[in-house]
Amino acid sequence: MIPLDRLDALVVALWEQKIKDSKASAMQLMRKLFREQGLRPKQQKRVKSLFHQWLSTEALVEYALENSAPGGIIGVLAGPVRLLVSRVLAGDLSPKEARKKIPWMAWDVVVGIPQEVQKIPDLPRRLELLGSISPWLARRLSEVFGEEAQPCLEGLLGKAPVTIRSNPLWGTREDLQVSLEEEDILTRQCSYAPYGLVLEKPAQLLRSRAFREGAFELQDEASQLVASLVFPPLGGLVLDACAGAGGKALALGGMVGKNGRVVALDTSASRLSDLRRRARRARADHIEGFRVPQERWPPRIIEIARKADRILVDAPCSGLGSLRRNPDLRGRIHENEVRRVRAIQLRLLERAAQILAPGALLVYATCTFLPEENQEIVDEICQRVPGLERVPVAEIFARILEESGPLPFTTEEGMFFQSFPHRHGMDGFFGAVLRKRRS
């Protein structure tokens, strides 16, 4: 057998479990393993890093095996060999150390595989290997971005910064910085998100006093900017139509203040339970969660929607823009999946648009940058629902951020919000704002 330390062996066990249960997410599998094994935080971090690293380079690992394993590998060694190849490709393990564990592998060949793949002239094939993405997605990125497709993909492979959003119900962003610094947690302010802070060095954020007091939530800067786009009036009523575990609902709760109201909808009772728990910690008892069926909204919710100042539809999507946080999504993003979520996006946005009150704003958002899930959805809804008009996001950001010039994450005409990891250092998000004309 190949000598593996305990944590490496646990990573292999995760990979084997992932094969058996392909529907389970990497996070679900890791949480179960951490509970069963009683791993300490540093051990959890190491296992998570190795497993994400492996998932992010699966195609490259297979390509390396084809070129460096004479005669292939037997089944019992499948997991350990792949893990070691992944570590060598990432520079986490030297070829010399790998050779001590498996002397018959051509480790010098493995080290050179990334450079060999870079020389492949066919761009879609190169993207498929470098990003461990489906052939369809590789072709689609090539069509949308041309030669910028590879830098875009490399941004999705990078490490995401740790970003938090301060809770105005607790105090100011500056107050939060001071509180965290007292616990030796150093941060800097986000470039644009008005409540955002970026962690300067690794720290146990979730063990801090500030977290226990509800002073902040983990949230990417792009996600924070989408919440800012809703721009609710103080004391206003906001309907979050696809709340999930409630990251944006919590942000909106801070914006409307204690005299406002946020109504969060989701189809999952467990996600709403998470939202209620987080809302209690954030001192946001004006956030309400309701479970609703996929097919329709109950009459009570429709009445709320008709009175809402803002409706947010943060729709289910392919998740392409968040790959660096969810590497196991790579193999799931294919043409049929995009077609499936696109039908959901159209249904959700049309439902909200038909109920929207005159003068109220409807914000549509996704964490992807495929046009068929973004601009094309907005265009189709504007054709289907009379009286809708697009509101340039640049106008709203100018009021929120007090920036008069063009912003790097708005489209050329200022109509839409679109962020990219390789351009802006944020997750890939899209945002559009619609308004029902009063006439």
Residue-averaged pLDDT of the chain: 93
pLDDT > 70: percent of the chain: 97
Distance of CA 5 to the CA centre of its chain: 31
Each residue of 44-64: pLDDT tens digit? 999 999 999 999 899 999 999
Q: Are residues 300 and 270 in the same domain?
A: yes
Question: Is the pLDDT reported for residue 73 higher than 80?
Answer: no
Alpha carbon of 238 to those of 14, 262, 263, 288: distances in Å?
41, 5, 6, 11
Question: Is the pLDDT reported for residue 394 higher than 60?
Answer: yes
Task: Report the pLDDT value the prediction gives residue 327, as an integer from 0 to 100.
Answer: 87
Each residue of 270-283: pLDDT tens digit? 999 999 999 999 99
Each residue of 294-307: pLDDT tens digit? 889 999 999 999 99
When pLDDT is averaged across residues 403-428 and rounded to a whole number, the result is 91
* Cα 439 from Cα 436, distance rounded (Å): 9
Q: Are residues 177 and 308 in the same domain?
A: no
* Cα 222 from Cα 225, distance rounded (Å): 5
Task: Report the pLDDT value the prediction gives residue 340, as an integer from 0 to 100.
Answer: 96
Question: Is the pLDDT reported for residue 258 higher than 90?
Answer: yes
* Cα 338 from Cα 296, distance rounded (Å): 22
Q: Are residues 134 and 108 in the same domain?
A: no
* pTM > 0.95: no
* Cα 283 from Cα 38, distance rounded (Å): 31
Q: Are residues 79 and 210 in the same domain?
A: no
Task: Report the pLDDT value the prediction gives residue 4, as an integer from 0 to 100.
Answer: 77
Question: Is the pLDDT reported for residue 76 higher than 60?
Answer: no
Identify the CA nearest to 391 among candidates 209, 175, 225, 229.
229
Q: Are 286 and 256 in contact (CB under 8 A)?
A: yes
Q: Are residues 79 and 153 in the same domain?
A: no
For residue 288, what are the β-bridge partners? 263
Alpha carbon of 171 to those of 195, 233, 420: distances in Å?
10, 19, 30
**What b/e readout covers 22-33, taking b as 16+ CB neighbours within 10 angstroms?**
eeeebeebbeeb
Q: Are residues 210 and 63 in the same domain?
A: no
Task: Report the pLDDT value the prediction gives residue 245, as an integer from 0 to 100.
Answer: 85
Listed as own residue / partner, the contacts of 37-46 with beta carbons closer than 8 Å and 24 or more positions apart are 37/10, 39/10, 41/204, 43/7, 46/7
Task: Report the pLDDT value the prediction gives residue 159, as an integer from 0 to 100.
Answer: 87
Q: Are residues 180 and 227 in the same domain?
A: no
The count of domains in the chain is 4
Task: Report the pLDDT value the prediction gives residue 72, as an integer from 0 to 100.
Answer: 61
When pLDDT is averaged across residues 304-314 and rounded to a whole number, the result is 98
Identify the CA nearest to 322 among candidates 56, 91, 51, 130.
56
Give the number of other CB atoms < 10 A from CB of residue 161.
16
Residue 34 is part of which domain span?
Answer: 6-119
Report for 47-51, 65-69, 223-227: range of highest mean pLDDT? 223-227
Two structure tokens written together for 391 = 């509101």
Question: Hey, is 85 helix, strand or coil?
Answer: helix
* Cα 376 from Cα 263, distance rounded (Å): 28
* Cα 432 from Cα 229, distance rounded (Å): 8
For residue 263, what are the β-bridge partners? 239, 288
Q: Are residues 432 and 297 in the same domain?
A: yes
Alpha carbon of 196 to those of 43, 165, 167, 312, 434: distances in Å?
28, 5, 10, 20, 25
- Give the domain-ending residue among 172, 194, 218: 218
Question: Hey, is 130 helix, strand or coil?
Answer: helix
Q: What is the dihedral of CA 269, 275, 277, 279, to 10 degrees?
A: -150
Q: How is the beta sheet containing 163-166 ordered, strand by strand?
A: 187-189, 196-199, 163-166, 216-218
Two structure tokens written together for 188 = 């800097």
In a domain, 1, yes or no: no
Two structure tokens written together for 289 = 């969660």
Two structure tokens written together for 10 = 């646990």
Q: Are residues 313 and 271 in the same domain?
A: yes
Task: Report the pLDDT value the prediction gives residue 70, as an integer from 0 to 100.
Answer: 66
Where does the pLDDT of residue 2 fall: very low under 50, low under 70, confident under 90, or very high at 90 and above? low
Q: Are residues 236 and 201 in the same domain?
A: no
Angle between helices 221-230 and 393-401 (to 10 degrees): 100
CATH number, position 16:
1.10.940.10
Question: Is the pLDDT reported for residue 71 higher than 70?
Answer: no
- Sign of torsion over alpha carbons 317, 321, 327, 330: positive
* Cα 200 from Cα 195, distance rounded (Å): 16
Q: Are 363 and 431 in contact (CB under 8 A)?
A: yes
Q: Are residues 107 and 43 in the same domain?
A: yes
